[in-house]
Structure 1
Amino acid sequence: MRILSGEDVRQAISMKEAIAVTANAFVQLTAREAALPLRARIELPHHEAVSLFMPAYLAQSQALGTKIVSVFPHNPTRFNAPSIYALIALFDAETGRPVAVMDGTYLTALRTGAVSGVATQYMARADTHVLALFGAGVQARTQVQAVCAVRPIREIRIVNRTPARADDLIELLKTDGIDAAIERVDNAAAALRGADVVCCATGATVPLFDAADIQPGTHINAIGSHDPRMAEVPAATVARARVVVDEHAAARAEAGDILQAEAAGLIDAGHVLGELGAVIAGSVAARTRPEDVTFFKSVGVAIQDMAVAHRVLQNAAARGLGVNVTL
């Protein structure tokens, strides 16, 4: 069995490769070539935290495994530590033998960025140049990396409630080689003025911006909320937009942005056009006109983790990364 550290995972796969394998995973899901149970949750209310247990199987890729992830949103301020920790276990799909355990913390950020990259590739206008980003954590960094991998972004505006963290992210993005003008913006309206794509990567429980500030033609990715009580995007924006989700059952259980718009009577269950895999396969048209507002809502599903982790393991084995152990 191969043990892979976070640094091994970083060396084993690029964002562009993660985007490609993620797109393929969602096509398999929509084609019913995947097993994806709803994740199990353990709530830790005293810490406002949750641990999630996320198994999945991709038949075409022969990727079988599970991720365990803990989300402790107060870690950055209380302990100067990441809000998300995770590990992934992979198994041989023919024998069930455990073949790998790897750090899932960086991989979670990578795969979450990758799905926004896929959605942006298939839903945003081709002439997308300005990105408005809400959030400045680990997830925010990979959102930028992914969007810049699929669209010629020239300008990035970052909004975060802690300005110093936004400034830190700007420096990290420069080290990533992001070839765009990057600035911290103090209010949402200014960030959204002229924005072509919006990425929401926060733990917000209330919308991050006013619905009126979203301009025609905008594409929105929202990946931060994963609970019916959470919403990053205003209900009126959800009602206005052409909406695509990562997976129907998961969205019905956890996508607060959509569920709250439905509870307010602004949409019904039929408002969601379909899953991302159907958009990739061409059976659902997410954007029909340049002026359409499109909205991709992701609560995060385990096929993303298994697809990326499976490729990481393949690449790591080929490059001699990690440590082999016998249990």
Structure 2
Amino acid sequence: MKAMTVGEPEIREAVTMKEAIDAVRHAFVDLAGGEFEMPTRTALRDGQFLVMSAHHRSTASAMFKTLSLNFERKPAITGTVTWSETGRLDHLIADAGTVTALRTGAVVGVATDLLAPPEAGRLTLIGAGGQAPDQVRAVHAVRPLRQLTVVDAALDRAQALVESLAPELPGVELLTSTDAGSAVREAEIVCCATNATSPLFPESALPAQVHVNAIGAYRPTMRELPDALLAGSTVVVDELDAILEESGEIIHALEAGAITRDALTELGAALTAPTADFGKRTVFKSVGVAVQDWAIARLLADKFLA
């Protein structure tokens, strides 16, 4: 028996964003089908330490992730993802920060592919931190971009991000801003990847048709989206129990009476439902669930433990 340890370079070389999106999509379909045993994650010190696990029944495989978060350091996320399977003696240990960024991007790719108009190509990304690059890569993988605007309170950080992504986005118009309200006015897709505790923009700043992804707020004390946006949109969430416990946006909107629980659709159910008209405004809210990590870990295990 041995443990294979893989870091960021190996993970990035082994798994493409398209592969990650496909794997996460299949995982959410399996989640909707009852294939997973997935406890709600354990959060300590108001989310600074997280423990997540998922067991996939049909493959008898399991993933365990432990990590710590500190937005004052780089990288902000450190920890490990461990994969094991009853049919294999070897197990895999992967860098949690890289897996988290990749799987968070991938689920946004899944949701954007499902909910955004086919012709959408103008993306506004709010937040230029560690999760930001994979948000852009995932959206670009399912909706080829014509324009990218990166918004951050620190303009130099936004500029550094677009410069780093430029080689991956030939022909895409690259813009930066410090004003989220102005930057979303003509967006067709918006991605929010911040640690904000109050809405990033007013609902009135958005165009009549837009798809919004929000992945930054993962605790009840955090919010990126206004109640009015949730009230006037089709809202898809990663997993209802996790959202009701951890999503500040959803908790606030429910308590304010802006939405009801019946207005929330889980991603797995949306993926397996008959083709539906989701309306002109759609929102995907994710706090991150363990099946996403399982999906990436399985890809890595298949590549490194074959």
Tell me the residue number matched to 1:13.
Answer: 15
Question: CA 1:183–1:25 in structure 2 vs 1: closer, same or farther (change >3 Å)?
Answer: same
Give deviations 1:206-256, integer Å, cap 9, x for gaps: 110011011122000000001111110001111111001000110110111
Tell me the residue number matched to 1:307.
Answer: 295
Cα distance, 1:278 vs structure 2: 1.3
Question: Aligned letter for 2:70?
Answer: F
Tell me the residue number matched to 2:304.
Answer: 316
- Match of 1:105, SS state, is helix
Tell me the residue number matched to 1:261.
Answer: 253
The TM-score, its normalising length taken from structure 2, stands at: 0.95
Tell me the residue number matched to 1:51.
Answer: 49
Tell me the residue number matched to 2:34.
Answer: 32
- Match of 2:287, SS state, is coil
d(CA) in 2 for partners of 1:305 and 1:179?
32
d(CA) in 2 for partners of 1:106 and 1:253?
25
d(CA) in 2 for partners of 1:295 and 1:311?
28
Tell me the residue number matched to 1:199.
Answer: 191
Question: Aligned letter for 2:183?
Answer: A
d(CA) in 2 for partners of 1:84 and 1:179?
32
Match of 1:165 among 157, 162, 174: 157
Contact 2:38 2:53 in 1 (8 A): yes
**Percent of matched pairs sharing the same residue:** 37
d(CA) in 2 for partners of 1:61 and 1:180?
41
d(CA) in 1 for partners of 2:58 and 2:168?
33
1:251 matched to 2:246? The reply is no
d(CA) in 1 for partners of 2:275 and 2:242?
19
Tell me the residue number matched to 2:201.
Answer: 209
Tell me the residue number matched to 2:25.
Answer: 23
Cα distance, 1:306 vs structure 2: 0.9
- Match of 1:138, SS state, is coil
The TM-score, its normalising length taken from structure 1, stands at: 0.89
Match of 1:123 among 115, 120, 130: 115
Contact 1:278 1:284 in 2 (8 A): no
1:288 matched to 2:278? The reply is yes
Cα distance, 1:282 vs structure 2: 2.3
- Match of 1:232, SS state, is coil
d(CA) in 2 for partners of 1:258 and 1:121?
22
Match of 1:279 among 270, 294, 298: 270
Tell me the residue number matched to 1:88.
Answer: 81
4+ residue stretches of structure 1 with deviation over 6 A?
none
d(CA) in 2 for partners of 1:160 and 1:239?
26
Cα distance, 1:94 vs structure 2: 4.4
Tell me the residue number matched to 2:65.
Answer: 67
Q: What are the ranges of 5 or more consecutive residues in structure 2 without an aligned counterpart? A: none
CA-based RMSD of the aligned residues comes to 1.6
d(CA) in 2 for partners of 1:220 and 1:41?
26
Contact 2:90 2:305 in 1 (8 A): no
Tell me the residue number matched to 2:226.
Answer: 234
Question: Aligned letter for 2:273?
Answer: G
Contact 1:19 1:114 in 2 (8 A): yes
Match of 2:213 among 211, 221, 239: 221
Question: Aligned letter for 2:303?
Answer: N
Between the two proteins, the alignment pairs up a number of residues equal to 304
d(CA) in 2 for partners of 1:213 and 1:93?
52
d(CA) in 1 for partners of 2:193 and 2:213?
9
d(CA) in 1 for partners of 2:22 and 2:58?
15
